[in-house]
Amino acid sequence: QVQLVESGGGLVQPGGSLRLSCAASGSIFNIYTMAWYRKGPGKQRELVATITKGGSPNYVDSFKGRFTISRDNAKNTVYLQMNSLKPEDTAVYYCYANVAQDYTSSRIGYWGQGTQVNVSS
């Protein structure tokens, strides 16, 4: 079993910054693509960004330039740096990881529980 735990959310003023973290633990042989999603109030869950095993990021256009995804494979952790935050960024942010648990196993997707980000004056 694999667990993903997000942290770093909280209350921030418009224009401020937050850095989210997501640490994977459990039975892990390798972690491939990781990603951040979010779900705002009354909205569908949407993709924010992905990052490959080798560290190549991919952003949804609306987040490009403000958000930065990165990872530390030694720590099994993915980060999301969020700058110039707006009230419409208020959402629960979820971590995703595609994981192989041993040498021969298939890759399985896992989700974290989410961390709340509130952008408000």
Q: Are 1 and 105 in contact (CB under 8 A)?
A: no
Inter-residue contact 79 to 51 (CB < 8 Å): no
Q: How far apart are CA 47 and CA 50, in angstroms?
A: 8
Closest CA to 85 of 70, 66, 69: 66
The pLDDT of residue 68 is 97
pLDDT at 105: 81
Res 97: pLDDT: 96
pLDDT in tens, the chain (121 residues): 899 999 999 999 999 999 999 999 998 989 999 999 999 999 999 999 999 999 999 999 999 999 999 999 999 999 999 999 999 999 999 999 999 988 888 899 999 999 999 999 9
Measured distance CA(49)–CA(34) in Å, rounded: 9
d(CA 9, CA 121): 16
